[in-house]
Amino acid sequence: MADKDCSPGASGAARVHSTSGSVPGDGRAGGAAGAGSGSAVGRLLAFAGPRRALTYLGCALSAASMLVSFGPYVCIWFAARDLIAVAPDWAAATGIAAYGWWALGFAVGSIALYFVGLMCTHLAAFRCASNMRKRAIGHLMHTGLGYFDMHASGALRRVVDGCALETEGLLAHKLPDTAGSVAMILGMLALFFVFDWRLGVACLVPVAVSLVCMFYMMGGRGMDFMTRYMGSLVKMNKTGTEYVRGIPVVKVFQQTVYSFRAFHDAIEEFTRLAQDYAVKWCRTPQSLSLTVISAAAAFLVPVAVMLAPGEHDLAHFAANFAFYAIFSAVIPTAMTRVMFMSEAFQSAADAVGRVEEVLAAPVIEAPAAPQVPSDNSIRFEGVGFTYEGAEAPALDRVSFEVPAGATVALVGPSGGGKTTAASLVPRFWDVGAGRVLVGGVDVRDMDPADLMGRVAFVFQANRLFSQSILENVRAARPDATRGEVMAALEAAQCADIIEKLPDGVDTAYGAAGAHLSGGEVQRLMLARAILKDAPIVVLDEATAFADPENEAKIQAAFGRLARGRDGAPRTVLMVAHRLSTVRNADKIVVLDGGRVAEQGTHEELLAAGGLYARMWADYEQAVSWRIQSAEGSAR
Ligand SMILES: Nc1ncnc2c1ncn2[C@@H]1O[C@H](COP(=O)(O)OP(=O)(O)OP(=O)(O)O)[C@@H](O)[C@H]1O
C-alpha cells in the first residue's frame, strides 16, 4: 500500500503523509511505524509501549518454569538410583520421601512460575492489542475519505480486530510457550550430557532425525512449496468471498458454480497443492519424524545393551538408563512445540504486516498555517486527477466556478467524472494537478476541520449506522436537540418514513430494526445534511432508485437543503444523473471524458446545440415516451 503515495491523490507529498506518529494510549509505537523493518515480534511488541518489558519478563518466567519442570524427573531419577543401589533392601532407601517432596515442590514451582509468566504476557498482550486498535482507528480518522471507497469497511474492521485478536493469542500464549520450548530443548541437551553422555547421544538421535525432517519440510524447495501453497490458499479465500458476494447474480441468471471460473480454478489448484503437500512433502518426513520421536526410548535399549558389559558399576549404569528412559518421554512434547514455533512467528508477521498496511494509508494533514476562506464560493482551476492504478485521468484540466450562494449542476455521460469532481471538494481525494478553491483558498491549505464544517455532502455511498434514526441524523451535529433533529427530518420530507416505524425516530436502523428503501435512505441523508446546515452543499443526486413519489419528496428536500435554515441560499454543487433536476440551476457544467465539454445556463446550452442539447433532446424524448406509454396503459 506504500504505492498509494504515488497516486495523484497523494501527490502533495508535503500534505499527505503516512503517520509514524503517536499511539493513542500509552507510548509511541515507533518501531511499528517503520513498517516492515525489524522482526515481526519486535514490531508487534512496539505497540505495547513500556509494557513490552512484561512480555520479556513473562517469557523469562515461562523458560524458568520449563527448566524447573525438569526437577521432578531428576528427583525420580535420584529415587530410582537410590532404590537400585539398595535393592532388594528397599527399606534402606530413606531419602525417597524427600525426593517425593522435592518433586512436588518443583512441579508446583513450575506451575506457579508459568502462571505468573502468563499474567505478565497477558498484561502486555492486552495493551498491545488495544494500542494496535487505537492506533489503527486513530490513523483511519485522519485518512482521506476516498480511502474508504477503495477499502471496504468490513475488511478494515477485520484487519484491525482480527490482527488485534491474533496478537493477543500470540503474545499472551505462543510467545511464552516458545520461550519455554527453547529452554526445554537447551535444558534437555544439557541434561543429556550430565549423567552419561553415551546414553544422551542415543536420545539425541531421534531429535536429530526429527530436525532433519523438519528442515526438509520447511527449508529450500519445501519453503518455496509452502509459499505457493499459502498463496493458493489466500487466492481461494479471496475468490470464495467474491463468489459468495455474487451468489444473488448467479441465482438470478441460473448459473452453476462453474460460472465462477476463478473460484473453481482456485479450488482445483489448492486441491492439487494440498495433495502434493500431504503426499510429497509431508507424508514421508512427517511419518519418519513421528515414528522416530515416538519411539525415542527404543534407541536407548540397544545402546544400553551394547554398553552394559563394559560397566564396572552396573547399578549406577542402570540408574542412568532409568533417567534417560524417563526423560525420553519429554522429547515428543519438545519437538511438537518446536514445530509450532515457526507457525507462531509466521502469524505474527502476517498480523503486524496487515496492520502496518492500514497505518501506511495516506492521511490528510492539517497545514501549518491554515487559511480561512473569504466566502463560500467553489472554484476548480485546471484540475487533473487520476485514480490509483488507472491509466486514463478521471479529470483533466477541469475549470469552473460555483459563486457563493449559487447552484451549479454537473452533468454528462456516465463515467464523465462528475462524482470524482464533487469528491475533490471535501477532499475525499486530493487533486493531482491544479487547485480546488473554497472562498479563494486551496482546500489543502484549509484546516480540515474548518473544511468539514463548511461542507455538507450527500453522496450515494453514504451509510446509516446501526443506531436509532434519531442518532443517525444527529451524527451531523451531535449537540442538536431532539426538536432540531425532528425539524430536519420534517424539512427532508421524512414524516411518512417516521410514521410507519414502530418506535418512530427511536427505531433502530438495520438488521434488528427498520429497513428502508434506497429513496428513503437518501431522504434521511438529506435530513442529516439539513441538520448540519453548512454553507456549502455537495450532493450526488442519486434518485435512480426512487419511485416518482419518493423523487418528488427528494426534490423538495433538495430545495430545502439549498436554502438553509435562515432562508439564505447555500452554495450547491450538485451531481445530476438525471436532467430533470438541473433546469433551474444557475449554471450547468457538462463533463465528458473527464473534461469540461461546455458550461452555461440551460437556455445557453440548448442554444449552443452541443452535447447538452443532445442529452436534453434524448431526455425529452424519453419523457414523452413515458407519457405516451402511461396514456396507452390508461386506455
Ligand atoms: N475508485 C475508482 N478507482 C478507479 N477508477 C475510478 C474510481 N471511481 C471512478 N473511476 C473512474 O473515473 C472515471 C470517472 O468516474 P465518475 O464516477 O467520476 O463518473 P461519473 O460521471 O460520476 O459517472 P456516473 O454518472 O456513472 O456516476 C470513470 O472512468 C470511472 O471508471
Q: pLDDT for 136-189, tens place per residue?
A: 888 887 787 777 766 666 667 777 777 777 778 888 888 898 888 888 878 877
- Say if residue 3's pLDDT is above 60: no
DSSP 3-state of 367: coil
Q: Which of 105-109, 140-144, 526-530, 575-579 has the highest mean pLDDT?
A: 105-109
Q: What is the CATH number of the domain that holds 530?
A: 3.40.50.300
Ligand 1 touching residue 388 (CB < 6 A) = no
The model's pTM is 0.63
Residue 464 — pLDDT band, cuts 50, 70, 90? confident
The dihedral sign for the CA sequence 204, 209, 214, 216: positive
Average pLDDT, the chain: 78
Same domain, 295 and 274: yes
Q: Among residues 523, 552, 553, 550, which one has the least CA distance to residue 539? A: 523
- Given the CA of residue 577, which atom of ligand 1 is nearest to it? 25
Report yes or no on 532 lying in a domain.
yes
Between the CA of 415 and the centroid of ligand 1 the distance, in Å, is 5
Of the listed ranges 170-174, 297-301, 464-468, the one predicted with least confidence:
297-301
Residues paired with 540 in a beta bridge = 575
Question: What is residue 259's predicted lDDT score, i.e. its pLDDT?
Answer: 58
Question: Looking at ligand 1, which residue's alpha carbon is closest to its atom 30?
Answer: 415
Which atom of ligand 1 is least distant from the CA of 420? 18
- ipTM score for this prediction: 0.96
Say whether pLDDT at 299 is over 80.
no
One domain for residues 152 and 93: yes
Q: How far apart are CA 467 and CA 513, in angstroms?
A: 9
Q: What is the DSSP string of 408-428?
A: EEEE-STTSSHHHHHHHTTTS
Take atom 5 of ligand 1 and give the residue whose Cα is closest. 387
Give, using CA atoms, the residue closest to atom 17 of ligand 1: 419
CA of 430 to the centre of ligand 1 (A): 15
* Position 190 in a domain: yes
One domain, residues 324 and 406 = no
Rounded to an integer, the average pLDDT of 429-441 is 91
Under a CB-based contact definition with an 8 Å cutoff, are residues 296 and 331 in contact?
yes
The 3-state DSSP class for residue 188 equals helix
Q: Indicate if 27 and 100 belong to the same structural domain.
A: yes
pLDDT at 513: 57
Cα 61 from Cα 120, distance rounded (Å): 9
Q: Mean pLDDT, to the nearest integer, of 456-483?
A: 81
Helices (H), 569-610: 602-608
Note the pLDDT of residue 61.
Answer: 96
* Total number of domains constituting the chain: 4
**Which residue range(s) make up the domain with 217?**
197-328
Residue 30 in this model has a pLDDT that exceeds 60: no
pLDDT, position 592: 92
Distance 431 CA to ligand 1 centre (A): 15
Higher pLDDT residue, 6 or 189?
189
Q: Which residues of 337-352 are buried (b: 16+ CB within 10 A; e: fewer)?
A: bbbeeeebbebbbebb
Q: If pLDDT is split at 50, 70 and 90, which confidence band does 323 have?
A: confident
Whole-number pLDDT of residue 631: 61
pLDDT at 52 over 70: yes
Please indicate, yes or no, whether residues 110 and 155 belong to a single structural domain of this protein.
Answer: yes
CA of 241 to the centre of ligand 1 (A): 24
Same domain, 321 and 353: no
Whether 129 and 242 map to the same domain: the answer is no
Asked if pLDDT for residue 391 goes beyond 90, the answer is no
Give pLDDT tens digits for 39-48: 777 888 888 8
56 pLDDT more than 80: yes
Domain assignment present for residue 13? The answer is no
β-pair type (407-411, 587-592): parallel
Which of 474, 451, 445, 438 shows the shortest CA–CA distance to 571? 438
> Which tens digit of pLDDT belongs to each residue from 404-423?
999 999 999 988 899 899 98
**Predicted confidence band at 21 (pLDDT cuts at 50, 70, 90)?**
very low
Q: Is the CB of 394 under 6 A from ligand 1?
A: yes
Q: Determine the distance from the C-alpha atom of residue 132 to the mean position of all C-alpha atoms in its chain, rounded to a whole number.
A: 11
Give me the mean pLDDT over the 577-585 stretch: 78
Residue nearest to atom 6 of ligand 1 (CA): 387
User: Cβ distance 363 to 146 under 8 Å?
Assistant: no
| pLDDT > 90 in the chain, percent | 19
Give a yes or no: residue 84 inside a domain.
yes
CB 401: neighbour CB atoms within 10 A?
A: 15
Q: What is the pLDDT of residue 34?
A: 39
With beta carbons less than 8 A apart as the criterion, state whether 443 and 425 touch. yes
Q: Is 469 exposed, middle or buried (0-12, 13-18, 19+ CB in 10 A)?
A: buried
What pLDDT does residue 229 have? 76
State if residue 9 touches ligand 1 by the CB under 6 angstroms criterion: no
Q: How many helices (H) and strands (E) does the chain have?
A: 26, 12
Q: Kindly state whether residues 345 and 319 are assigned to the same domain.
A: no
- Tell me the C-alpha distance between 617 and 448, whole Å: 42
pLDDT-derived band at 118, boundaries 50, 70, 90:
very high
- How far, in Å, CA of 529 to CA of 186, rounded? 66
511 Cβ contact partners less than 8 Å away, ≥ 6 residues apart: 466
Q: Which strand (E) or helix (H) includes residue 2?
A: none
Task: Tell the residue nearest (CA) to atom 24 of ligand 1.
Answer: 414
Mean pLDDT for the stretch of residues 30-35: 38
Q: What percent of the chain has pLDDT over 70?
A: 78
Average pLDDT rounded to a whole number, residues 51-78: 90
Q: Report CA(419)–ligand 1 centroid distance (Å).
A: 7
DSSP string, 20-35: --PPSSSS--HHHHST
Residue nearest atom 12 of ligand 1, based on CA coordinates: 394
Atom of ligand 1 nearest to the CA of 149: 1
Count of CB atoms within 10 A of residue 428's CB?
Answer: 22
Q: How far is the CA of 394 from the centre of ligand 1 (A)?
A: 7
Instruction: Say if residues 69 and 333 touch (Cβ distance below 8 Å).
Output: no
With respect to residue 151, please indicate whether it lies within any of the assigned structural domains. yes
pLDDT at 200: 84
Task: Name the residue with the closest Cα to ligand 1, atom 23.
Answer: 415
Pair 222, 165 in one domain: no
From residue 297, alpha-carbon distances to 186, 198, 293, 334, 409 in Å are 19, 14, 9, 15, 84
Whether 609 is in the pocket of ligand 1, judged by its Cβ within 6 Å, is no
- Give the separation between CA 147 and CA 39, rounded to whole angstroms: 28
Residues 89 and 97: their CA atoms lie apart, in Å, by 16
Mean pLDDT calculated for residue range 391-396: 90
CA of 402 to the centre of ligand 1 (A): 22
- Report DSSP letters for 323-352, one per residue: HHHHHTTHHHHHHHHHHHHHHHHHHHHHHH
User: Ligand 1 centre from 420 Cα, in Å?
Assistant: 6
| Greater model confidence, 238 or 8 | 238
Asked whether the beta carbons of 562 and 406 are under 8 A apart, the reply is no
pLDDT value at residue 627: 59
Q: Which of 291-295, 352-356, 551-555, 599-603 has the lowest average pLDDT?
A: 291-295
User: Is 304 a domain residue?
Assistant: yes
Say whether pLDDT at 6 is over 90: no
Q: Are 150 and 206 in a shared domain?
A: no
Sign of the CA dihedral 402, 403, 409, 413? negative
Task: Identify which of 147, 387, 429, 539 to mutate to test ligand 1's pocket (most ligand atoms within 8 A of the CB).
Answer: 387
CB of 417 closer than 6 angstroms to any ligand 1 atom: yes
Confidence at 217, pLDDT banded by 50, 70, 90: low
Does residue 575 lie in a domain region? yes
577 touches ligand 1 (CB under 6 Å): yes
Task: Answer whether 402's CB lies under 8 Å from 378's CB.
Answer: yes
Mutate to test the pocket of ligand 1, among 418, 539, 611 (most ligand atoms within 8 A of CB): 418
**pLDDT for 446 beyond 80:** yes
Q: Are residues 307 and 344 in the same domain?
A: no
Ligand 1 center–CA 411 separation, angstroms = 13
Q: Read off φ and ψ for residue 516, nearest 5 degrees.
A: -120, 155
Q: Which residues contact 111 (CB under 8 A, 6 or more apart)?
A: 65
Q: 507 in a domain, yes or no?
A: yes
Q: Does 596 share its domain with 634?
A: no
Closest atom, ligand 1, to C-alpha of 591: 21
